[in-house]
Amino acid sequence: MSQSYNRGLIEDFSRWREFEAGMWAWIFHKFTGWVLIGYLFTHIAVLSTAIPASGAETAVLQAGNDVYTQTIVSLEGLLLVRILEVGLLAVAVFHMLNGARLLLVDLGVGLESQDKSFYASLILTGAITVASVPTFIAGAF
Amino acid sequence: MSTQIPKQTEKADETAAETETDAPSKGDERRAEKRRRADERRRQRETEEAERAAADENTVELRVFRYDPDVEGKQEPRFDTFHVPFTKGMTVLDALMYARDSYDSSLTFRHSCRQAVCGSDAMFVNGGQKLACKTQIDELEEPIRVEPLPHAEVTKDLVVDMEHFYDQMEAVEPYFQTNEYPDGELEEQRQTRENREKIKMSTRCIWCSACMSSCNIAAGDNEYLGPAAINKAYRFAMDEREGEDVKQKRLEIIEQEHGVWRCQTQFSCTEVCPKDIPLTEHIQELKREAVKNNLKFW
Amino acid sequence: MYEHDVVVVGAGGAGLRAAIAAQEEGADVAIVSKLHPVRSHTGAAEGGINAALRDADSWEDHAYDTMKGSDYLGDAPAVEALCKESPEEVIQLEHWGMPFSREEDGRVSQRPFGGLSFPRTTYAGAETGHQMLHTMYEQVVKRGITVYDEWHVMDLVVTDEDDPADRTCHGVVAYDIQRGEVDGFRASGGVILATGGMGQVFDHTTNAVANTGDGVAMAYRAGVPMEDMEFIQFHPTTLPSTGVLISEGVRGEGGILYNENGERFMFEHGYANNDGELASRDVVSRAELTEVNEGRGIEDEYVHLDMRHLGEERILDRLENILHLAEDFEGADGLTEPMPVKPGQHYAMGGIETNEHGETAIAGLYAAGECACVSVHGGNRLGGNALPELIVFGKRAGHHAAGKEMGEAEIPTGKRGEWEPAEYEFEVDVGAVGDRGPAAADGGAVAADAEGLMEAEIERARERVEDLLTRKGRNHAEIRSAVQETMTANVNVFREEEGLKQSLSDLREAREAYTEVAVSDPSRTFNTDLIHTMETRNVLDIAEALAMGALARREFRGAHWRKERQERDDENWLKHTLVSWNDGEPELWYKPAILEGEAKTYEPKVRSY
Amino acid sequence: MAQRYSSFDKGGRMWLLQRVTAAFLLVVLAFHFFLLHFVHHADEVSFLMSAGRMETLSYYSLMVLFLLTATFHGVNGVYNALVNQGLTGTKRTVIKWTLVAASVVLVLQGIRTANAWAGIPLY
Ligand SMILES: Cc1cc2nc3c(=O)[nH]c(=O)nc-3n(C[C@H](O)[C@H](O)[C@H](O)COP(=O)(O)OP(=O)(O)OC[C@H]3O[C@@H](n4cnc5c(N)ncnc54)[C@H](O)[C@@H]3O)c2cc1C
Ligand code: HEM
Ligand code: SF4
Ligand code: F3S
Ligand code: FES
């Protein structure tokens, strides 16, 4: 493995000062990707409650008293879950936008403005997240 | 003033104290004494420098990484402070040379051409990979911190071991290969202006290793060819004088396990390259070239 | 100890070409270099490589231009070899993939250069040297030639017969910079010196910090004469703080030189009423220095080169790289302010005396490239003639050392041909200080065979390193700057009797100081303090020979200008200066320039363009 | 040429697949979010609504494909990230197969869930 001498905490930390756009983008993309795959597993786990639910009576289903609907409703009733969902949206939106940026980079499009497109992804992510807060929080109180 | 000094002295005292408790050998004592004196000298020098600095407004403060596996008192990495009189047009390399020639002749760094063609003096200046000779002092924030290239083994002070970088550069068969030469005795191979233009930037690499040092992937995977070597491969793969079969071979080289696919388009290589080589662009073009080439046979 | 057939010292253009050539001849070659090959200063060359490639051109024309440019101090057999072989060598480079600039039809481009009667300077953008160096290193990698990089060669291993002509070179001793060990490289076929320029003799130079003329000094101490050392080319427009070259192109496009009072001195002070800024390099350099010396320099150091009036568009179009150079290395913006410039040492025409096969006076010792003096440049080098010299004579030396049959050389080396002693009496002592100590080419006395000689020399080198590391004394840096200062003040573009004498006595002082030199860094790892200290000794030896030659030559020829006699004196001075070390007692002597070539005899003519 | 076929480096194929799935996911994930958070609100979700959608074949197949691509893309992404950090040897083989196993479980479970909604008795 690569070697480097310990240059003390402050010195190490200062390396981050000159992290360029591309590197931040890489780190964020990594982070968001991991969150997304992690979520995919939980998501499917939660959704699988639909399997026992499908055995329920039609009336129960209609009343929304089945396991699946109950689970979802109780989860969605928690403010924390709602907030996490906003977070998830932010993560997903960033990963999508930056992913689109990376696809363009792979096609050799806009390499000179790679830093600008990264900043644009960040700003757009922020805007979309903020704009969707009302929809996401609706009904939580 | 330098923050390391008190710490260093403490250290020396500590060792001295230690040796006292467990029956000091004469050698230990002598060494401790020597170290103490060396510290003393350095402190004195730094005070003098600081005074000079105070007297003359126009100095720059340099904090330089020091390490030497062979010299007692330098085995533990530390930073030394130098105050160098500023002159217009001064580069980081000029400042280092001044510090070496006037204050401490053991200050070690590679340098030769002083004009950004030999690639000896890539270092980590204020948190970025820079060629010291091509970096103007007045564009930097003070104090200027100078460290050896990250992600490489430090040999001494600002000198890092370049062997690994050279190995990677040489791993891509970095030499021209072709099967056909023109017939006439004094006949050159023809090359279009467009083609020469296409490879022009890639031929400017001076092997400084700044890109390699800045790439996180290269830091994590020692076998990754790295941006400079891939760029070298690009220089040949895109040279139309080499012919199709050789190009196939070139693509196989760059497609290997630790080749182009490792690149995560971090762009930091492109950002730091002192020769402005569009490294990421070249790497990406090779990836596409490889995919295209393989799709043909699908 | 390492053993090879051929050991090449230096990995610039000349060294790499020599190694490839020797390998082509089947020899086991090793390159020993204090820098990694791609760090060599050949990489700094911008302009191009002269070669008569086109039908309308001929090697004879190239030879004629070169002879004229040399102010008739070139040796015709060498000049003709250069011009005849450079076309095939350039094509060879092209076949090795060197990315030359191209014409519309796909052939390599050539451009006009000063002093050439045909546009025959083949180039690769403004980075010809870089491309050439890298292309050749690629070939070295391809061939798997062994490279010992970051090994500083300290001295040659040479037997110690009284007459240098009887001596033999068996190898070199070198210091491994990384590991701090001394070891030997034995060469059964030959040692080829290709250590490049000696710009560090002056304090302001376009040369690299590593260009300390080591090879020249080593050969000199071993008994090989140094030839034409006084001929140093100065470039008029280099950046003051770094010595980075600002190409002649700026003046070519219409750039103007101003002094502190804003006067266009080339005209206003009558240095060159016709050509102004475009007068030849030496004229402009002298004009600039006169301005500074008479108090009209800026900060008493430099003058201004102004190109702002050319307009941003034209500057960006034709001189863009100049903008970058001024910005990166001087912090000056050429678009909004004038650029500071001053003359700087650029090239050494002289060096180790060799014949056209690269052989020196000592058997088994060769030299090629800027450290050698074949001589093709004579009193003045034409732009674009150094790079072909590297490949042509690098190749020749490599072939010869590897045993290729090349016939009798026409240029005699050492005192084998016609020669005459100098009549000049030096007032100051020159040469080794105090008791002469063991001769440089000692060791022969203690060992009968090459093996034993190598061992003895390695041991001596170890002791020397040990001594430098452990003793107490002065730092070499002061001594080196003392040398550089006096050389720049007195042996610069202006050379007057008094100044030259002054330089010799200053050098004497520096030599004496050097006897007390010590290295303060005790480290065994990458001890650059030690390397620089050893280099400073070489700088001293060279500076002295240079000043001696300059003092004795009372005429104005090529780059050598003397106040006492400001014209060429063919009657008395159509001859090469040689300085022999003689185990510590330098001797100055002369040998005639060879003007009879194969094509014709080059009759000295007035050098005017 | 058969040789060339087999020498199509795995790295290259995976790299390409990662991009292709990304392009696909870009569209489908946007659609997914839009449908389930903006058209229908999260707190209104119920089994029957989901079932209603799943019963259409095109929606069902889109979702299964979504699951497959997302799993591949995500797991391959994680694997790449680890490999880039210098994962080698046995460790690498172990992790690789663990990831493959996890993906299989994830995909099976997902399909079972989808089937539950779609009323396909295969769960
Ligand atoms: C700025 C500039 C521009 C130029 N432009 C042109 C041009 O356009 N056209 C042209 O024809 N010429 C040009 N020249 C001149 C030409 O570039 C040089 O003369 C030539 O490159 C010298 O090559 P070399 O191989 O002799 O030495 P270098 O390339 O200097 O190589 C010397 C080698 O010797 C090694 N070495 C030195 N000392 C030791 C030691 N003690 N032990 C071990 N190794 C040692 C070094 O490591 C190095 O590898 C230019 C020169 C300069 C400075
Ligand atoms: C919505 C559209 C998406 C796009 C455009 C997209 C794009 C990309 C791209 C291009 C990469 C490769 C980065 C590289 O190798 O340099 C990547 C990596 C990754 N993606 Fe996605 N992605 C998307 C959705 C998803 C989803 C839904 C998941 C989760 C299941 C996910 C998980 C990951 C992971 C884990 C990585 C690896 C990150 C790393 O390098 O550590 N992505 N994505
Ligand atoms: S590509 Fe650029 S940064 Fe990398 S080694 Fe070459 S010159 Fe240096
Ligand atoms: S920094 Fe590294 S990841 Fe790729 S774009 Fe450059 S090689
Ligand atoms: S000293 Fe040569 S690149 Fe900086």
Residues C539 and C467 in one domain: yes
Please check the confidence at residue B14 and state whether its pLDDT lies above 80. Answer: no
Classify residue A24: in a domain, yes or no: no
Residues C339 and C352 in one domain: no
Per domain, the residue ranges of chain D are 13-118
List the one residue out of B197, B295, B217, B293 whose CA is nearest residue B259.
B217
Please check the confidence at residue B48 and state whether its pLDDT lies above 90. Answer: no
Q: What is the mean pLDDT of residues C554-578?
A: 93
Shortest CA distance from B79: residue in chain A: A7
Out of C281, C511, C537, C568, pick the active-site residue: C281
The answer to whether D and C touch (≥3 CB pairs < 8 Å) is no
Provide, rounded to the nearest whole percent, the portion of chain B with pLDDT above 90.
56
C141 closest CB neighbour out of B113, B170, B189:
B170
Residues A108 and A72 in one domain: no
Q: What is the mean pLDDT of residues B110-138?
A: 94
Residues A93 and A124 in one domain: yes
pLDDT in tens, C237-268: 999 988 899 988 788 788 999 999 999 999 99
Under the banding of pLDDT at 50, 70 and 90, the label for residue C114 is confident
- Amino acid at position A56, single letter: A
Residues A63 and A97 in one domain: no
Please check the confidence at residue C382 and state whether its pLDDT lies above 70. Answer: yes
Residues C203 and C271 in one domain: no
Please check the confidence at residue A72 and state whether its pLDDT lies above 90. Answer: no
Lowest mean pLDDT: which of A47-51, B193-197, C93-97, C496-500? Answer: A47-51
Contacts of B125 (CB under 8 A, 6+ apart): B92, B132, B135, B140, B144, B145, B146, B147
Classify residue A2: in a domain, yes or no: no
List the one residue out of C34, C383, C41 whose CA is nearest residue C199.
C41
Please check the confidence at residue B135 and state whether its pLDDT lies above 50. Answer: yes
Lowest mean pLDDT: which of A93-107, B81-95, C276-290? Answer: C276-290
H-assigned helices in C204-280:
214-222, 249-253, 265-268
Residue C556: predicted pLDDT: 93
Under the banding of pLDDT at 50, 70 and 90, the label for residue B205 is very high
Under the banding of pLDDT at 50, 70 and 90, the label for residue C26 is very high
Q: State the burial class of residue C421 (Cβ atoms within 10 Å of its Cβ: 0-12, 13-18, 19+).
A: exposed
Number of domains, chain C: 3
Residues C304 and C328 in one domain: yes
Structure tokens given for A38: 């992690």
Ligand that comes closest to the CA of residue B112 = 5
Classify residue C421: in a domain, yes or no: no
Residue D43: predicted pLDDT: 67
Task: Name C421's bridge partners.
Answer: C589
Task: Name C587's bridge partners.
Answer: C580
H-assigned helices in C158-261:
214-222, 249-253
Residues A66 and A88 in one domain: no
Which atom belonging to ligand 1 lies closest to the Cα atom of C197? 30
Classify residue A95: in a domain, yes or no: yes
Hey, how many other C-beta atoms are within 10 angstroms of the C-beta on B76?
14
Angle subtended at Cα C71 by Cα C70 and Cα C73, rounded to the nearest 5 degrees: 70
Structure tokens given for C192: 């080829």
Classify residue A50: in a domain, yes or no: yes
* Dihedral angle, C-alpha D19, D24, D29, D34, nearest 10 °: 140
Tell me if residue C215 falls in helix, strand or coil: helix
Please check the confidence at residue C330 and state whether its pLDDT lies above 60. Answer: yes
Q: Give residue C183's domain range.
A: 2-232+347-406
Please check the confidence at residue B243 and state whether its pLDDT lies above 70. Answer: yes
- Amino acid at position C399, single letter: H
CATH code assigned at C387: 3.50.50.60
Please give the distance, rounded to the nearest whole angstrom, from the Cα atom of residue A1 to the centre of ligand 2.
Answer: 26
DSSP C556: -
pLDDT in tens, C428-464: 888 888 654 444 444 445 566 889 999 999 999 999 9
D13-118 is classed in which CATH architecture? Up-down Bundle (1.20)
Residues C189 and C287 in one domain: no
Residues C303 and C361 in one domain: no
First to last CA, chain D: 44
Classify residue A82: in a domain, yes or no: yes
Q: What is the ipTM of this complex?
A: 0.90
CATH code assigned at C306: 3.90.700.10
3-state SS of chain C: helix, strand, coil percent to 5? 40, 20, 45
CB B270 within 8 A of CB B199: no
Q: What is the mean pLDDT of residues A65-80?
A: 86
Q: Residue whose CA is closest, atom 6 of ligand 1?
A: C45
Do the chains contact at A51 and D116, CB–CB below 8 Å? yes
Structure tokens given for B31: 């060494």
Number of domains, chain A: 2
H or E element: which one contains D21?
helix D10-33
Choose from B155, B164, B264 for mutation: most chain A CBs within 10 A: B264
Tell me if residue D94 falls in helix, strand or coil: helix
Residues C158 and C201 in one domain: yes
- Amino acid at position A87, single letter: G
CB C191 within 8 A of CB C199: no
Distance from CA of C532 to the nearest CA of B (A): 10
* Dihedral angle, C-alpha C157, C30, C385, C51, nearest 10 °: 140
Q: Give residue A82's domain range.
A: 78-141
B267 closest CB neighbour out of A5, A15, A22:
A22
A5 closest CB neighbour out of B67, B218, B287:
B67
Q: What is the mean pLDDT of residues C354-378?
A: 96
Torsion region of B267: left, alpha or beta (phi above 0 gives left; psi -120 to 50 gives alpha): left
Structure tokens given for C509: 């002082």
Q: What is the mean pLDDT of residues B251-266?
A: 87
Exposure on the CB side of residue C218, measured as CA atoms within 13 A: 31
Chain centroid to CA C495: 20
Residues C170 and C48 in one domain: yes
| Comparison of pLDDT for A109 and C81, the residue scoring more | C81
CB C573 within 8 A of CB C522: no
CB C136 within 8 A of CB C17: yes
- Write a three-state SS string for chain B: CCCHHHHHHHHHHHHHHHHHHCCCCHHHHHHHHHHHHHHHHHHHHHHHHHHHHHHCCCEEEEEEEECCCCCCCCCCCEEEEEEEECCCCCEHHHHHHHHHHHCCCCCCCCCCCCCCCCCCCEEEECCEEEEHHHCEHHHCCCCEEEECCCCCCEEECCEECCHHHHHHHHCCCCCCCCCCCCCCCCCCCCCCHHHHHHHHHHHHCCCCCHHHHHCHHHHHCCCCCCHHHHHHHHHHHCCHHHCHHHHHHHHHHHHCCCCHHHCCCCCHHHHHCCCCCCHHHHHHHHHHHHHHHHHCCC
Classify residue A89: in a domain, yes or no: yes
Catalytic site residue C39?
no
Q: What is the mean pLDDT of residues C312-330?
A: 86
d(CA C352, CA C359): 10
Provide, rounded to the nearest whole percent, the portion of chain C with pLDDT above 70.
97
Ligand that comes closest to the CA of residue B131 = 5
Radius of gyration for the alpha carbons in chain D, expressed in angstroms and rounded: 18
Residue B32: predicted pLDDT: 65
Structure tokens given for C45: 């060359």
Classify residue C479: in a domain, yes or no: yes
On chain D, the residues whose CB falls within 8 A of the CB of A50 are: 47, 50, 113, 116-117
Residue B53: predicted pLDDT: 56
Structure tokens given for C402: 């590897």
pLDDT in tens, A84-132: 989 999 999 999 999 999 999 988 888 888 889 999 999 999 999 998 8
Please check the confidence at residue D92 and state whether its pLDDT lies above 90. Answer: no
